[in-house]
Amino acid sequence: MTKNAMPDVAVLDDEQNVSQSVEKVNLLGMSEQKLTAFFESLGEKRFRVKQVMQWMHQRGVIDFDAMSDLSKALRAKLADLAEINLPELVSEQTSEDGTRKWLVKVAGGSCIEMVYIPEGNRGTLCVSSQIGCSLDCSFCSTGKQGFNRDLSAAEIIGQLWIAAKSMDSLDPTKDRIISNVVLMGMGEPLLNFDNVVDAMNLMMHDCAYGLSKRRVTLSTAGVVPALDRLGDVTDVSLAISLHAPNDELRNQLVPLNRKYPIAELLRSAQGYLAKLPDKRRKITLEYTLIREVNDRPEHARELAALLVDTPCKINLIPFNPFDQSDYQRVSNNALYRFRDILIEAGYTVTLRTTRGDDIDAACGQLAGQVNDRTKRSQRYRQEQGLEAIRIIPG
Work out the burial of residue 28: count CB atoms within 10 Å of its CB; fewer than 13 is exposed, 13-18 middle, 19 or more buried. buried
Confidence (pLDDT) at 323: 78
Q: Is the pLDDT of residue 380 over 70?
A: no
Per-residue pLDDT, averaged over 216-241, amounts to 97
Per-residue burial over 38-71, b = 16 or more CB atoms within 10 Å of its CB, e = otherwise: bbeeeebeeebbebbbbbbbbeebbebeebeebe
Per-residue pLDDT, averaged over 121-143, amounts to 90
Confidence of residue 109 (pLDDT cuts 50, 70, 90): very high
Per-residue pLDDT, averaged over 384-393, amounts to 39
Confidence (pLDDT) at 120: 84
Could you tell me the fold of the domain covering 14-83? DNA polymerase; domain 1 (1.10.150)
SS3 298: helix
Which tens digit of pLDDT belongs to each residue from 1-39? 444 444 454 444 544 544 455 689 999 999 999 999 999
Confidence of residue 67 (pLDDT cuts 50, 70, 90): very high
CA distance 135 to 156: 19
Q: Which residues are catalytic?
A: 113, 363
Domain segments of the chain: what residues? 14-83, 88-380
Confidence (pLDDT) at 388: 38
The proportion of the chain whose per-residue pLDDT surpasses 70, expressed as a percent, equals: 84
Q: What is the pTM of this model?
A: 0.86
Confidence (pLDDT) at 171: 82
Averaged pLDDT of the chain: 88
DSSP structural state of residue 323: T
Per-residue pLDDT, averaged over 333-359, amounts to 87
In CATH terms, is domain 88-380 a member of 3.20.20.70? yes
Per-residue pLDDT, averaged over 238-266, amounts to 98
The β-bridge relationship of strands 283-289 and 237-241 is parallel
Q: Is the pLDDT of residue 289 over 70?
A: yes
